[in-house]
Chain A
Amino acid sequence: MEMLRFATAGSVDDGKSTLIGRLLYDTKTIFQDQLEAVERASVQMGTEYTNLALLTDGLRAEREQGITIDVAYRYFSTPKRKFIIADTPGHTQYTRNMVTGASTADLAIVLIDARKGVLEQSRRHAFLASLLRIPHLVLAVNKMDLVDYDEGRFEEVKEEFRAFAMKLDIADLTFIPVSALHGDNVVTRSDNTPWYDGSPLLHHLEEVHIASDRNLIDPRFPVQYVIRPQSDEHHDYRGYAGSIAGGVMRPGDNVVVLPSGFGSTIKSIDTFDGPVEEAFAPMAVTVRLSDEIDISRGDMLCRPNNQSTSSQDIDAMVCWMSERSDLVAGSRLMIKHTTRSAKVIVKHLAYQLDINSLSRVEDATELKLNEIGRVTLRSQIPLFFDEYRRNRVTGSFVLIDEASGHTVGAGMILGESD
């Protein structure tokens, strides 16, 4: 059975909580005591109907203020797949939260109110999904019941969105007409939309092809931890533990170690359950090499003829996540990239991206909370990376404020800076 991680974006007004509630309810994931707790809380808050948002808005402050503060993770499964939902709030801190939820997602669902069409918020969500390179995007055109299940209206919304999506890099785009409230095309096909010949949402989530989304071409193994048992039984054992970040690795493969540049051969790929004949992302394994080389955490194993870029100068798109400080040219920060950490200086802020118009603000001098821009970084030591578009693991990083320890930025690598 496969696992699909998806992010949902939209606000309560778009019916997002209702949609998630519907998926959980119809797949029998909501438990009786949870439903009763939500019903009790709804009555107490004086709402007329059972407010399914209360299922996910678990923090006291969220309940008191009636807002969603943070990304919530929810789980359900069908006989075909296990699903992890990263439910991101539509209003408060939408960029930071959506970027967080989207970073691990295979698919994003963006909700649109059929009456209102493609609003600024929908465009933002679609843009962030493409920036984070979520391979599959579903546009759920919701509240179809309120437009009399009109095919013409669905087509209008579709065209409107397509025109906008042309500017984005979206590999797979699917449109589904739904009514979350009444359940049309959510779990089962609706009789109200005979003109729609696609799948209901859940069926699409179960069937969408995600196996080829991973990078199986470029072997990458960031060394995470060195295992040396120093026991009688495993006296000379020296293994490099880590998670495969790309490609397929097999015993016998020639490898090169970055940064030293030394070459060796994979002697074995070990796990607690025995050696394996091949390893691929996201497997967590322990690699042993034929030669004794000095290797430590933060080093990278690649193939001699297929190596990641090794450089101290990086161009990247950065989403700034701190309300306490801004990113400016000259900012000094810590970077965490694969298993490497280093000091970095922001050399240059090329532009800020207006995520509503997708236009570049060339004269921007800083990035504030929830702003996205293109920056050039200079790292104290070389990093071993790939373009984010080619590999989401070796192409991503976070920026950390050294004094507070907070995560203040998320970055997607465009390439080596000239």
Chain B
Amino acid sequence: MSSLAYDLPYLRQLEAESIHIFREVAAEFERPCLLFSGGKDSIVMLRLAEKAFWPARLPFPVMHVDTGHNFPEVLEFRDRRLAEAGARLVVASVQQAIDDGTVVEETGPRASRNRLQTRTLLDGISEHRFDALFGGARRDEEKARAKERVFSFRDEFGQWDPKNQRPELWNLYNGRLNQDEHIRVFPISNWTELDIWQYIKSEQIEIPSVYYAHEREVFERDGMLLSTSPFISLIEGETPFVESVRYRTVGDMSCTGAVESSAETIDAVIAEVSATRITERGATRADDRVSEAAMEDRKKEGYF
């Protein structure tokens, strides 16, 4: 940093904005919670939260909405990283909800637990009486998200009303809640996929190995490469093969696609991300392909 120019490089500006948001929520809410999936965005979020409260530990717990369809590498990473941060983990389990009969699992080869996450998430929120949930959504990800506020309100049903959002000006965030409402807070709203990767590089942040190129048995479905796993059954005509791939997003194994890649280092990943012509959700998320407004519809129901 040049001390003469008083210019803050853009990653530091984004970082400062995010830290400001974390602190604002910790100061104004009774029971915040950080959503953590083990994906790169939530890993960056965890680091930003550590920075916001250092040398104190996080003044809130971390919640993982666990579909039960995890990459083993990611689960291992989650436990290790949270222990290192000294953070308290709360797991909201979709499998548990299925076993309890709260939700009914979809059937068939295209069955996904994606929609079931919403109910599990909302149940987790009311069980722990969380009033503010930090999420790692970014506005560049998806067009419904491009219009979402940093402080995004949910009514007593956990639903988002895009036409009734509070104006958000300067760095002043209005966190006033009514009974049974809660907010979702998106501290990295203004970051892009590339910013996240640049930050991971400059901060030397460890991420799960599936983000780097590795050999994996995959098959092709709807133009995406899905990993073979106990959680997904093949449809006739789908043939598994081994490919060098990496993941751009990490979610439920049954609906997150891999991309062909030989990028084994962070620099190689950044080079690939810079050159790509497809958005990360477009390339890798079957859940967004349902319709033009798939994300908006799920968000209205209470999705992340």
Would you call B56 an interface residue if the criterion is a C-beta within 8 Å of the partner chain's C-beta atoms?
yes
Most buried by A among B6, B170, B276: B170
Q: What sequence of 0s and 1s flags, for each residue 239-278 of chain A, a beta carbon within 8 Å of any chain B beta carbon?
A: 0011100001000000000000000000000111100011
Stretch at the interface among A72-80, A189-197, A299-307, A345-353: A72-80
Stretch at the interface among A29-37, A167-175, A358-366: A29-37
Given A282-B16, A405-B178, A406-B166, CB of A2 within 8 Å of CB of B7? yes
A72 touching B147 by the CB < 8 A rule?
yes
Contact of B292 among A41, A69, A271, A339 (CB under 8 A): A41
Would you call B232 an interface residue if the criterion is a C-beta within 8 Å of the partner chain's C-beta atoms?
no
Shortest CB distance B10–A (Å): 4
Given A224-B20, A225-B23, A336-B172, CB of A2 within 8 Å of CB of B10? yes
Contact of B168 among A41, A100, A270 (CB under 8 A): A100
Would you call A400 an interface residue if the criterion is a C-beta within 8 Å of the partner chain's C-beta atoms?
yes
Compute how far the CA of A97 lies from the CA of B166 in the bound complex, rounded to whole angstroms: 11
Shortest CB distance B165–A (Å): 7
Contact of B169 among A100, A214, A216, A229 (CB under 8 A): A100
Task: Chain A residues near B26: list those with CB within 8 A.
Answer: 225
Task: Chain A residues near B14: list those with CB within 8 A.
Answer: 3
B172 touching A225 by the CB < 8 A rule?
no
A72 touching B146 by the CB < 8 A rule?
yes
Would you call A141 an interface residue if the criterion is a C-beta within 8 Å of the partner chain's C-beta atoms?
no
B169 touching A234 by the CB < 8 A rule?
no
Task: Chain B residues near A99: list those with CB within 8 A.
Answer: 167, 169
Contact of A103 among B140, B146, B170, B181 (CB under 8 A): B170
B13 touching A3 by the CB < 8 A rule?
yes
A237 touching B55 by the CB < 8 A rule?
yes
In the complex, chain A residues 325-353 whose Cβ is within 8 Å of any chain B Cβ = 334, 336-337, 339
Most buried by A among B57, B142, B166, B296: B166
Would you call B282 an interface residue if the criterion is a C-beta within 8 Å of the partner chain's C-beta atoms?
yes
A-B contact count (CB 8 A): 196
Contact of A3 among B10, B140, B283 (CB under 8 A): B10
Most buried by A among B10, B14, B282: B10
Compute how far the CA of A77 lies from the CA of B169 in the bound complex, rounded to whole angstroms: 23
B146 touching A224 by the CB < 8 A rule?
no
Give B276's nearest chain A residue, CB to CB: A31
* Interface residues on chain A, size class: 35 or more
B169 touching A339 by the CB < 8 A rule?
no
B176 touching A59 by the CB < 8 A rule?
no
Compute how far the CA of A396 lies from the CA of B168 in the bound complex, rounded to whole angstroms: 12
Give A297's nearest chain B residue, CB to CB: B27
27 A-B contact pairs sorted by A residue (CB < 8 Å): A3-B13, A31-B279, A32-B278, A33-B279, A58-B145, A60-B292, A63-B292, A63-B293, A70-B147, A73-B189, A75-B192, A77-B192, A82-B195, A104-B169, A214-B6, A225-B27, A229-B57, A243-B20, A282-B17, A284-B52, A336-B172, A336-B174, A337-B172, A396-B172, A405-B174, A405-B176, A405-B181
Given contacts A84-B190, A334-B176, 14 further A-B contacts (CB under 8 A): A31-B279, A33-B279, A56-B146, A59-B293, A70-B147, A72-B147, A227-B53, A231-B56, A284-B17, A339-B27, A393-B170, A393-B171, A400-B174, A405-B181
Query: Interface of B with A (CB < 8 Å)?
Result: 3, 5-10, 12-17, 19-20, 23-24, 26-27, 50-57, 139-140, 142-147, 162-163, 165-172, 174, 176-178, 181, 189-190, 192, 194-195, 276-279, 282-283, 292-293, 296-297
Query: Interface of A with B (CB < 8 Å)?
Result: 1-3, 28, 31-34, 37, 41, 55-61, 63, 69-75, 77, 81-82, 84, 96-97, 99-100, 103-104, 211, 214, 216, 224-225, 227-231, 233-234, 237, 241-243, 248, 270-273, 277-278, 280, 282-284, 286, 297, 321, 334, 336-337, 339, 392-393, 396-398, 400, 402, 404-407, 410
What are the nearest 10 A-B pairs in CB distance? A58-B143, A33-B282, A3-B10, A405-B176, A284-B19, A272-B51, A229-B56, A103-B169, A272-B54, A284-B16
